[in-house]
Amino acid sequence: MAEKPIVKNVDMNEEMQQEAIECAQAALEKYNIEKDIAAYIKREFDKKHGVTWHCIVGRNFGSYVTHETKHFIYFYIGQIAILLFKSG
């Protein structure tokens, strides 16, 4: 994917950040519907890092969430925003 990811807010180690970005890029290549992109990212992180990950994908949304320490990232790939966090 040619679009350079832009991280807007993060509380996550570098390795997991890179994994989130790569997972999102794979999802964007595979799916066109935002719900499907979010589901793919969430399922991948549930598998690799334990359950209760939440993912929101879209072009226009506000958010205010509670998350576990070191388990939050909000970034853009092109016009698409991705919010990924663990809570619960």
For the chain, domains (ranges, CATH) are 6-86 (3.30.740.10)
User: Rounded CA gap, 42 and 2, in Å?
Assistant: 23
pLDDT (tens digit per residue) in 32-88: 999 999 999 999 999 999 999 999 999 999 999 999 999 999 999 999 999 999 999
Band of the pLDDT at 2, cuts 50, 70, 90?
low
User: Rounded CA gap, 66 and 5, in Å?
Assistant: 23
Q: Please tell me whether residue 65 adopts helix, strand or coil conformation.
A: coil
In the block, tokens 């390795």 appear at 15
Q: How many helices (H) and strands (E) does the chain have?
A: 2, 4
| Confidence (pLDDT) at 67 | 98
Instruction: Say what the pTM is.
Output: 0.96
User: Rounded CA gap, 2 and 4, in Å?
Assistant: 6
